[in-house]
């Protein structure tokens, strides 16, 4: 993203993990220690279990020095009013709706995790064009159709704590919900299905395969396949439905880009998985859990 040159500071997540024997990870399976609003902590899983067992995370308090660097953890009245009256909310998926960065997890499954994760960090900081980072990451492991299918069976989606309740709350308030992601439809579909978000409300990239299931690349016609693509997708959504107030929620530089004329009115930075400080500092509202957004709608 313009104005975010170089790799920004990314604060990793600290958690204690306990394996549970359940088919997937609903948000109710993640247990949290309670803390004050300004001492909210981040949830994140940097390593995926080798089995599809869900993870229960006990969150560690964020250092006071880290929180003191931000003055946007409490919403202004204007921000709160816009949030409560939004016609539509667009969510990023990786490290926001879901605990993981999907492409990193797929790469790790295919044996190229470390190298791809390094590219992901650069892409999320805005230090390289998104389309360049996307092509480079995929070229490191060239996933086949069968690998993607096996991955989805063995590594079920892990939703971020509270996202299901937040989506239900927004729908109850007649707010339309969208998923806008630089990830891939094949991997986002399970999360959208669980959350009750229809396919037409999902804007994401598409992996392409040949007749034998060999990897061919990705659909470059998708707006989210290139730098500024999320902003373009959000602008298309707003124009198509004539929304008066629209909000973008995510963790990365590409999500922040969506806040521009004709796009999102507000950018809420969700740092419950990854705290990308250069992005968080520019947000209208910085939150470390979805509970704060849920309670603010009451």
When the pLDDT of each residue in the chain is averaged and rounded to a whole number, the result is 82
What digits encode the pLDDT tens for the residues 124-169? 666 788 888 889 999 999 999 999 999 999 999 999 999 999 999 9
Over 60: is that where the pLDDT of 53 sits? Answer: no
215: containing domain? 70-100+158-297
Per the structure, the count of domains in the chain is: 1
Is residue 92 flagged as an active site residue? Answer: yes
Residues above pLDDT 70, as percent of the chain:
77
Residue 238 domain-assigned (yes or no): yes
Closest CA to 258 of 243, 274, 238, 276: 238
Report the CATH number at residue 190.
3.40.50.1000
- Neighbouring CB atoms inside 10 A of 21's CB total 8
Answer for the pair 241, 114: CB distance below 8 angstroms, yes or no: no
Q: Which two tokens stand for residue 11?
A: 């604060």
The pLDDT of residue 128: 80
The active-site residue out of 71, 81, 87, 92 is: 92
Global pTM value: 0.79
What digits encode the pLDDT tens for the residues 194-218? 999 999 999 999 999 999 999 999 9
What digits encode the pLDDT tens for the residues 170-191? 999 999 999 999 999 999 999 9
Pairing of strands 266-270, 285-287: parallel
The active-site residue out of 81, 87, 94, 265 is: 94
Answer for the pair 112, 141: CB distance below 8 angstroms, yes or no: yes
Residue 190 domain-assigned (yes or no): yes
Residue 123 domain-assigned (yes or no): no
The pLDDT of residue 61: 53
Residue 51 domain-assigned (yes or no): no
Closest CA to 148 of 194, 108, 186, 185: 186
Burial class (CB in 10 A: 0-12, 13-18, 19+), 240: exposed
């Amino acid at each position: 993203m313009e104005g975010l040159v170089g790799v920004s500071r990314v604060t990793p997540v600290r958690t204690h993990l306990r394996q549970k024997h359940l088919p997937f990870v609903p948000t109710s399976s993640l247990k949290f220690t309670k803390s004050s609003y300004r001492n909210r902590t981040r949830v994140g899983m940097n390593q995926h279990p080798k089995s599809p067992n869900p993870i229960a995370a006990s969150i560690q308090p964020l250092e006071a020095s880290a929180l003191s660097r931000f003055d946007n953890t409490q919403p202004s009245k204007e921000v709160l009013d816009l949030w409560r009256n939004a016609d539509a909310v667009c969510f990023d998926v990786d490290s926001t709706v879901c605990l993981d960065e999907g492409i990193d997890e797929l790469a790790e499954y295919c044996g190229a995790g470390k190298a791809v994760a390094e590219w992901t960090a650069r892409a999320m900081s805005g230090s390289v064009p998104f389309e360049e980072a996307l092509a480079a990451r995929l070229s490191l492991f060239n996933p086949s159709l069968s690998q993607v299918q096996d991955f989805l069976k063995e590594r079920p989606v892990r939703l971020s704590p509270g996202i299901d309740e937040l989506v239900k709350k927004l729908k109850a308030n007649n707010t339309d919900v969208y998923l806008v992601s630089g990830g891939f439809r094949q991997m986002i579909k399970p999360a959208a299905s669980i959350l009750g978000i229809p396919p037409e409300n999902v804007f994401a990239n598409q992996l392409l395969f040949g007749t034998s299931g060999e990897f061919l690349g990705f659909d470059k016609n998708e707006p989210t396949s290139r730098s500024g693509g999320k902003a373009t997708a959000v602008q298309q959504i707003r124009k198509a439905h004539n929304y008066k107030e629209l909000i973008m929620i995510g963790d990365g530089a590409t999500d922040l880009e969506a806040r521009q004329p004709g796009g999102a009115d507000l950018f809420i930075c969700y740092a419950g998985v990854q705290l990308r400080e250069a992005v968080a500092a520019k947000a209208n509202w910085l939150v470390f859990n979805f509970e704060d957004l849920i309670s603010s709608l009451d």
